[in-house]
Structure 1
């Protein structure tokens, strides 16, 4: 298991506990009490660390290499029922944006989300979760298909941003994202958005317009990453921690500003520390949101969604 800088005290205690257990097995010495003391200290240390995380530490957790990605969630929620659909019917199939039909229990959903890789080869294959215009156009095609057949949409956001390459701009990156935002505001089926990792810039907004926006506890959602903000304001990445605080990008900040609807609790240590529990919590939150949304007519859905997003940023002084 990989540890972040602020998790090193946990690593030391876990190593001590492991050594203590080995000594108990390999020798006749009773080390039960010692192991229990270390376990108690380990739990206290975890609680102290994870209950007092800074904005930058939450950004680090959202990028943890062991953290579950979009396909992990889809496989856990839909299992064998998931049927991936490919292509934007125009240019090509974007591997950074995945989508398809699947069932949670007996309810069909259209799943759409950015997929990062878990090693060097798959990260290159998935373009590090940065979609091209054809990725957003594929997402829109799938959403319109879902609307045609009355199937609710679930979008899973985890991207460092839309791909900023010259060829992406030539094929209309900005237009593709803007078109998605426009079309999602008036889609006549429920849209449930879940931020499962990084929610950066327009890359996240391109599939981020939802009737219910759920945000996992150790994720972030912002117009710019802390590193990029630091490099613009201070001409250096060294101030990324100050930038993270100033950007107000954590789940608590987003909920306070009424930009997301619900914070989904993660297990102690982050989503990767207990994947099964994380998947179950996300499933419950999705189904709870759907139970509310399915009672609304298409017209009511669109009206409420439009009202929700037009009210964002309104300040009454």
Structure 2
């Protein structure tokens, strides 16, 4: 188990509890009362820490190395029913963007999402979850297939941004993302979107237009990452905490500004601390949300989605 800097008090208490339990097991000394006291203190410390997280700490939580990624959710929600589909029929198959058909409960979904790696080798293989233009074109191809067969779309967002390399720009990164945004606004099947980790910039928007957009509690959604914002405004990454605060990127901020529709509560300690509970929460919310849209006609779906995005933001006449 890895701990973030602000989680160190929890690490110390868990180490104390483990030592206490070992003493109780290996000797005849009764340490049950001491263990109980440590457990009580541990629960209180966890509640105190996780209920008062700063925006920057939530960004750190969203990047926790033990946090479940898209394929973890797919495996938990769909089991063996998931059939991954590959390629954009133009350039190649982008490993940072995964997609395919899977059943959640009795309902088939076209599931699309960014996938990060678990170690150095898989992170390079998945390009750190940063999709190239062919990734967004693959996503669009799969969405169009879903539309053709009347299958709802579920997108899972977890990306530090679209890949900013020269080759990606040469192959039309901006156009691919813009095309996806346009096509998703008028897709004739329900689209549900869940931000499960990082939701950065156009990389997230490329698969982020939905009838209902939901965020897990310790995720973020913004036009730019705090580090990049800090480097632009202050010419240094040292002000990333101030940038995170100013960007209003947390789930609470997004809900308050009506840019997302629902916050999915995470277990105490974050999604990685109790994966099964997190998966069940996401499953329940996805199926419940689908019920809201499954009986709407394609015309109603598109109109409501268009109206939703046109009503976002404020302006002075």
Is TM > 0.5 for Structure 1 vs Structure 2? yes
1:108 aligned partner = 108
1:137 aligned partner = 137
Number of residue pairs matched by the alignment: 317
Structure 2: distance between partners of 1:63 and 1:121: 18
2:170 aligned partner = 170
In the TM superposition, residue 316 of structure 1 has moved relative to its aligned partner by 6.2
Structure 1: distance between partners of 2:105 and 2:195: 22
1:118 aligned partner = 118
Q: Give the secondary structure class of the aligned counterpart of 2:40.
A: helix
Q: Give the secondary structure class of the aligned counterpart of 1:66.
A: coil
Aligned pairs for 1:123-272 (under 5 A) are 123-272=123-272
Structure 2: distance between partners of 1:314 and 1:212: 20
Structure 1: distance between partners of 2:71 and 2:300: 31
Q: Give the secondary structure class of the aligned counterpart of 2:102.
A: strand
Alignment deviations for residues 56-88 of structure 1 (CA, whole Å, 9 cap, x no partner): 000000000000000000111111000000000
State the Cα RMSD in Å: 0.7
Alignment deviations for residues 5-26 of structure 1 (CA, whole Å, 9 cap, x no partner): 0000000000000000001111
Structure 1: distance between partners of 2:21 and 2:80: 40
| Deviant stretches of 4+, over 2 Å | 314-317
TM-score for both structures, normalised by structure 1 = 0.99
Structure 1: distance between partners of 2:93 and 2:265: 34
2:292 aligned partner = 292
In the TM superposition, residue 106 of structure 1 has moved relative to its aligned partner by 1.1
In the TM superposition, residue 295 of structure 1 has moved relative to its aligned partner by 1.6
Q: Give the secondary structure class of the aligned counterpart of 1:21.
A: helix
Structure 2 portions without partners, runs of 5+: none
Alignment deviations for residues 211-234 of structure 1 (CA, whole Å, 9 cap, x no partner): 000100000000000000001101
Structure 1: distance between partners of 2:259 and 2:12: 39
Alignment deviations for residues 123-173 of structure 1 (CA, whole Å, 9 cap, x no partner): 000000000000000000000000000000000000000000000000000
1:6 aligned partner = 6
TM-score for both structures, normalised by structure 2 = 0.99
Structure 2: distance between partners of 1:212 and 1:99: 19
2:16 aligned partner = 16
1:46 aligned partner = 46
Structure 2: distance between partners of 1:39 and 1:171: 55
Structure 2: distance between partners of 1:315 and 1:305: 20
Structure 2: distance between partners of 1:36 and 1:252: 34
Alignment deviations for residues 26-75 of structure 1 (CA, whole Å, 9 cap, x no partner): 11110000000000000000000000000000000000000000000011
Structure 1 portions without partners, runs of 5+: none
Structure 2: distance between partners of 1:189 and 1:316: 34
